Structures are given as C-alpha cells and as structure tokens.
Structure 1
Amino acid sequence: MGTDAIIDFGAIGKYALDLLPYIPITLALSVLATVLGTVLGLGFALIKLARVPVLSQLTAVLVSYLRGTPPLVQLLLNVNAVPILILYANHAFGTQWNALALNPFLVAAVTFALTEAAYSSETIRAALLSVDRREVEAAHALGMTPWQTLRRITIPVASVVAFPTLVNHFIGMLKQSSLAFVVSVVEITAFAKILGGRDYRYFEAYLATAIIYWALTVIVEQLARIIERQMQRPRVPGRSPRPGRGTRPDPGSDRGPGTGGASAPAREPEPDGGSGALTGAGALAAEGSAPQRDATGRDRPLTKHEQEVPA
C-alpha cells in the first residue's frame, strides 16, 4: 500500500480551499469577543483601582470564577442557562420570549468576551498604573476633569504599554474560537469536521485547518509588529525652517529673516547737525563713564578724581 493511499495530499489543498469561506466567521467571532472583553476588562480594572465598595468585591469574585473554570465548560453552561433564564423571565414578567430561539454565535461571543475580560483586566490595570502620575497631575492642573484626563492622557499612554499583551490575547482568542463548534457555530473547525466526515479524511481536513490557523496567527503577528512600531515612534517636534528656505527677510526688519518684525525706527538727527557725535558736557560724561584700563590692559575701577565730571 503506497503512501498516497494513506495520506491524500491533494485533499489537503482541496479542504483548505473549502475552508476559506468560513475564515470571516472565525475572525468576526474573535474580534467581537476581544473588543467586548477589552472594554469589560477596562471597566473591571477601573473598579479595582477606584476600590468601589461592593462592586470591587463582586468583580474580584467574577474574575476568579472566569479564570478558574475552562472556557468550554463556561460555553456549555451558558448555552443551557440562557433558556432557563428566559423561562423565568416569562413567568415573572409575563413576557412571551422564545427560550429556544437562541443565537449560538452571540452566546459564544459573550462567553468568550467574559473570559477575555477576566484576563485582560489585570493587563489593563498594570498598564494604567504605569502612567506617570506627573502627567495626570499636570492634566488636573490644566483644569481637566477626571474623565477628560482618563480619555486624553491615561488611556492613550496605557494603550501603548498594554498593546503587545492584548495582541497575544487576540491570538489566543483566535484559537479559542474553535470551541464554538460545540454550540453549533459553523466556523473553520466545525466545517473541517463536516468535511472529514464526508470523505472519511479527518487527518487531511484537520491538517488543513491547522495550516489555516497557523497562517492567520502569523499574519496577525506581522500586522501587530507594524502597528506597535507606529505607536512607539517618537514624535519629533516641528522645527523652524532654515533661513533662505521658504523664508525671506522682511524689508527694513532688524529681527532676522521671516520673523515679520517691525522695521527699526529711523534715527533722529542730532542737535549739532546730524553728525551723531557728543559734544560738551555729554562728551565729558561719556569719557568719564567709560571703563579705564591699567598698564596690563585690564579694567580698573575709576578714581574719585576721574569720577568728578566738570559741569
């Protein structure tokens, strides 16, 4: 029996092409869960930092539960708990909601978002604590409200610190989304199981699935590196243009090229005919006030006789 009879390499490429239309479902589930989880994680982190009574304790218990139970168990529990909650709501409030009309995609997205929130909350809290307190105090000194300071100062700075870890969380969510097939969400893994059962080529189908997940992970990593370099690029303040490049000195200006300064006032003619020279007592005063030098050429203080200027 040849190797081709055991492993059909041609089927691997065929299955990979068949799985491509289900990549958007996997990406949509991963992005939605990550975004919701990050927002919830930010809320959990702010509650912990603010030490809100009761809420901080409830948040700690919820985070402990979400981090201490497997995501698959949470998914199975939630998909069975939602119909029960709907039945109780119908009985208590007289509503007529259909307990069986569940959207498995939304159930999986919310479940994964809660798991993501539990893990990202600590990452975000550490990033918020890394912000320099002097920047926050400067924002308060400028009259910013706490919300403005959080939105304009704290979150932008903390996002740069937390970005690499949050990208790792998204990659983990990309792989965790494969668990959604147990609640009838037909994404990459679920359709790979369907393909394998159709031709009894499970190995080839799952190998094609693994290659697709690997490729998605590599693409996300490369995009994250590009974004991270852009976020960490230092901002160079604008430099003034050099003289002679796009700037011309203003006519009559004594403040340099391109400064737009006012021209220097014309010098008024002197009383002695405009020569500009000092005469009489003015010349003697100027001579007397001029610094005197000794034999070595150094300045020396004026003597009392030299300081007396004749009227």
Structure 2
Amino acid sequence: MFKFDVLAEDFIGILMVVPKTLLLAILILFLSTLLGGVIALIQQYRIPVVAQIVKVFTSFLRGTPAVVLLYLMYYALPQIAHLLLKIVGIEFNPHDLNPVVVVIVTFSLTMSAFQSEIIRGAFMSVSEGQIEAAHSLGYNFLQTLSRVIMPQALMEALPDFLNSYMVIIKALSLAFLITVVDIFAQAKIMGAMSFRYLEAFVAAALIYWLISAILTALINRYELRLRKAY
C-alpha cells in the first residue's frame, strides 16, 4: 500500500541533492554553450579544415547515445589525462580522477553539438540590415556582436537554453552509472534503504516536475522583460 509518510521522507531526502544537481547542470550548460558558440562560429565562417573536423565531431556526438559516451569517457578520460600530464612532467594516477569530472566533460561535449545549432539559429535570426547599420555607425565586430547581435539572439535562444538545461538535469540520471549521485540516484538510494521504491520514484518525479515548473516561470518572465526592452 502506498505510504504518504514515506513519500514525504523521501521527498525531503531527495531535496538534499537538488542544489548539487542544479549547480552541476548549470556548469555543464555554461561549458557546452561556450564550446557550442565556438563550433557555431567555425561553421558560420567555414574555416577550412577546422570546419570539416568540427562537422565530423558534432556528427559523432549527435549519433552516439549519451550512456555510451559516458562509459567511453569514464575509461578513456583518465588515460588521456595521464598521458597529457606526463608530457608536461606531472605525475597523475588515472584512478584518482573524480567521476564528477567525467560527467562534466562528457555532457559538456555532448550538449555542445546541440547548443551550436541553437546559437547558429539565434544568430541567423538577426537581420543583415541591422548588422550593416551597426557597421555604418562605426561599430567593430565585437561591438556589433555585444550590442546588436547578442541581445536579440539571446531572446530567440532563451527558450531553447531552458530546454537544454532541463535535458541536462534529466540526463544526469545516467551519472549514477559511474557513482555520481543526482536526483534519480538519490531516489534509488532512498528506495533501497526503505524497500519502498514506488514512493521514492514518485518523490523524484514530483521534484523534477517542480524544478521544470519553476524554471519555466522564471525564464518566461525574463524573456518578457527582454522583449519589452528590445
């Protein structure tokens, strides 16, 4: 029989790892957006050789399941770090690499392929006429980017960034495979402690839903303010 007191206890227990999950997701979103921006610029300006390499790289990331990439990086990244640090004369034990680092690197790389498309689409939404007008006023590339392109592109990309953030939060449930505890992992732990898995997973579902509702409301308000400003 479903027990609401167990649900309440599991809900509070899972809430304890929500800040860690949200911060981890923010860091991944930030890094993937930075890398995605670089990829978008390379593709936009069609830099020879590099653009072709990036195309293969993003195709691989889009076509490979996240769980496969996670295990691939879990076994490969420590060895890569060991080799690179050995070149510069730093001793490093591959077994000392924190699994959280593997999660950050894996999901940042995975999401960068999708973030690049969001950024490209947002940049392309800004008309050429506005860019030409900025150049006619004497704006250089960085001034045009920061004062004309970025504010308008941000408005277009904001809902997609929210979606990406929610995708990352939910994708972090895979991190338990390499011992990193997030919302889903904490639900499994709570369920195992009480042998009441139904209540634990209902609590996790409610928390995911609550996070999504709060983030959507906040982003909608911010987007409305941006649209009023521009």
Listed as ranges, the matches of 1:34-53 within 5 Å are: 34-53=29-48
- SS at structure 2 position matched to 1:84: helix
Cα distance in 1 for partners of 2:79, 2:123 equals 39
Matched, 1:209 2:204: yes
Instruction: List alignment gaps of at least 5 residues for structure 2.
Output: none
If each structure's helix is expressed as a fraction of its own residues, which one has the higher value? 2
Partner of 1:195: 190
Following superposition, the deviation at residue 92 of structure 1 comes to: 4.9
- SS at structure 1 position matched to 2:97: coil
Aligned mate of 1:22, from 11, 17, 23: 17
Matched, 1:172 2:160: no
Deviations 1:70-103 (A, max 9, x none): 1111111111101222343466554311211112
- SS at structure 2 position matched to 1:51: coil
Task: Single out whichever of 44-53 and 81-90 deviates more from structure 2.
Answer: 81-90
Partner amino acid, structure 2, of 1:78: M
Following superposition, the deviation at residue 171 of structure 1 comes to: 1.4
Instruction: List alignment gaps of at least 5 residues for structure 1.
Output: 1-5, 236-311
Tell me how large the CA RMSD over aligned residues is.
Answer: 1.6
Partner of 2:106: 111
- SS at structure 2 position matched to 1:31: helix
- SS at structure 2 position matched to 1:7: coil
Partner of 1:150: 145
Cα distance in 1 for partners of 2:201, 2:37 equals 36
Aligned mate of 1:134, from 126, 129, 133: 129
Partner amino acid, structure 2, of 1:122: E
Listed as ranges, the matches of 1:135-284 within 5 Å are: 135-234=130-229
Cα distance in 2 for partners of 1:97, 1:23 equals 32
For the 8 Å contact 2:40–2:119, the answer to whether it is kept is yes
Deviations 1:98-149 (A, max 9, x none): 2111122222122111121111111111111111111111221222222221
Structure whose CA Rg is larger: 1
Cα distance in 1 for partners of 2:82, 2:101 equals 19
Cα distance in 2 for partners of 1:170, 1:221 equals 11
Cα distance in 2 for partners of 1:38, 1:47 equals 14
- SS at structure 1 position matched to 2:90: coil
Partner of 1:82: 77
Following superposition, the deviation at residue 169 of structure 1 comes to: 1.3
Task: Single out whichever of 135-144 and 204-213 deviates more from structure 2.
Answer: 135-144
Greater relative contact order structure (CA < 8 Å, 6+ sep): 2
Following superposition, the deviation at residue 232 of structure 1 comes to: 0.8
Deviations 1:26-72 (A, max 9, x none): 10111111111111111111111111111111111111011111111
Partner of 2:60: 65
Identity within the alignment, %:
39
- SS at structure 2 position matched to 1:168: helix
Following superposition, the deviation at residue 234 of structure 1 comes to: 4.7
Partner of 1:96: 91
Cα distance in 1 for partners of 2:29, 2:45 equals 24
Cα distance in 1 for partners of 2:8, 2:15 equals 11
